[in-house]
Structure 1
């Protein structure tokens, strides 16, 4: 599995049925402390209107990719992979676009069918999502969400720093068990992000998504 896994996962989730909850459930009740932590994480991150930084992506085979990201609530994010890649994933508030600057092509998916969409909301409320697991350690608190897709159940685990409540990592696990992990670093919060960073060139040719 390589960087394409993120793109193929987005393609699969493009066809996710429009249901808020799909019958997923925790295998145990949340404790009062866990419920409080989830609320505090949502409140803290909802107050962060913009974020920018770098990411490191590692796949199940140990493949590594790096790049930069820019986030602006609600519903705008941009992942730009370092050269030699010329691909980007951009949300412009009404959908996600996979853009190839070399080929000058783009293809799009509905915003509400993409991993991380809950974290892009203006007001984050994880209790309105499909929480299937929570875990904690001395330093981190993890919330795992699930969605049912044509390729099976896809899980996204969001890892937060327990002290700061900041998102530091997330992992996407496909039904096959293949995993893609993103770690964030050099993150700056509430920074000015140019509007052009969430721009899709209208001259780029629209192509059909490829599900792999």
Structure 2
């Protein structure tokens, strides 16, 4: 896979294969963020809101959730997500989507189980990688373009200063209590991908092997990287 294509995949989670079928009704229902609307937050409330988001993300050590990925054309897929900050993430898609995305050891790896083909890029080369930084700061090589408050949610849109042409990442967080609920990626071609989290659990302990793609058995049939479904 071309390196630039993989960077785009790691930003939004992978684009769905043409053979994937929409999956409905398997993730527990949870209140979704409202449709786009709301009002831009002005200073000094804007700085205060960003400080709260930073504090939340830096205090978030582990998160497990179901995710629903929605492409601009309405195609959907879902699966289970694990995040262990700093530096580690795993998105495991439900069948029939054969994809697995793992971040660890400073690398994003995308694995297609059907093709038995892994591809990697540095975590630092992806917009989503900013969430895995040990000390998350909006001022660290990031430009925030908008902070919008809407119905108890904050939408923070940003881009990386080093790659302003790669698109925009919008984080959508419930304000009280603060919780990451969704993100939206608008890529350089104007395509939007939305990832919504539900059944969120924080503070749990994960087996380190779910992130250990440098283990020779990780991708083997029956290996820990391919848990029983």
Range of TM-score over shorter length: 0.7 to 0.9
How far off its partner does 1:199 sit?
1.8
| Unpaired segments ≥5 residues, structure 2 | 13-39, 221-229
Moved more, 178-187 or 148-157: 148-157
8 A contact 1:154–1:173 mirrored in 2 = yes
Structure-1-length-normalised TM-score: 0.79
Q: How many residues align?
A: 186
Aligned match of 1:79? 91
How far off its partner does 1:9 sit?
1.0
8 A contact 1:12–1:151 mirrored in 2 = no
Q: For residues 77-107 of structure 1, what are the alpha-carbon distances to aligned partners after superposition, in whole Å with 9 as ceiling and x for unaligned?
A: 0011110122111001311000123332211
Aligned match of 2:52? 40
Q: What aligned pairs does 1:53-202 form with structure 2 within 5 A after superposition? A: 53-128=65-140, 129-147=142-160, 152-200=165-213, 201-202=215-216
Q: Are residues 36 and 151 of structure 1, via their aligned partners in 2, closer, same or farther at CA, if it must alter by over 3 Å? A: closer
CA RMSD of aligned residues (A): 2.7
8 A contact 1:118–1:126 mirrored in 2 = no
Structure-2-length-normalised TM-score: 0.73
8 A contact 1:151–1:175 mirrored in 2 = no
| Unpaired segments ≥5 residues, structure 1 | 1-5, 14-27, 206-212
